[in-house]
Structure 1
Amino acid sequence: MPKVKTKSGAKKRFKLTGTGKVKRKHAFKSHILTKKSTKRKRALTHSGLVSSADMNRVNQMLNI
């Protein structure tokens, strides 16, 4: 049986933490930034964690 490939998009977007949680970046920070407030852009800079509802899908894409 061949190896199962990881989804390329997922491996670029998610990182595993030491405790096994999955880190992610916020959306809406790449373009059309002039109409967004400085406070909003600064808040989007920080990374977050994938919610428990999405963990199964992300783990499947990363083959964890």
Structure 2
Amino acid sequence: MPKMKSHTGMGKRVKQTGSGKWISEQAGKRHLLEGKTSRRTRRLTGTVEVAKTEIKRIKKLLGR
């Protein structure tokens, strides 16, 4: 049986902190920025904790 390959794209998008939380960049700041207010785009900056419902899927993709 061949080895499981981890999903390299997911590995670049999420990171696990020392305490075990999963963090990623805030969504919604890639395109169509002219229609969004400056206040909204500023608040989309930075990292956020991944939703608990997504953690099972992320672990499966990373082979953990």
SS class of match (1:45):
coil
2:55 equivalent to 1:47: no
- Decide which structure has greater strand share: 2
% of aligned pairs identical? 38
Structure 2 stretches lacking a partner, 5+ long? none
Residue 5 of structure 2: aligned partner: 5
Runs of 4 or more consecutive aligned structure 1 residues displaced over 2 Å after TM superposition = none
Report the Cα distance in structure 2 between the residues aligned to 1:21 and 1:4, rounded to whole angstroms: 24
Number of equivalent positions: 64
State the match for 1:27 in structure 2. Answer: 27
Task: Note the aligned Cα RMSD (angstroms).
Answer: 1.2
Match for 1:49: what amino acid?
A: E
Q: Which stretches in structure 1 are left out of the alignment for 5+ residues?
A: none
Shift of 1:27: 1.6
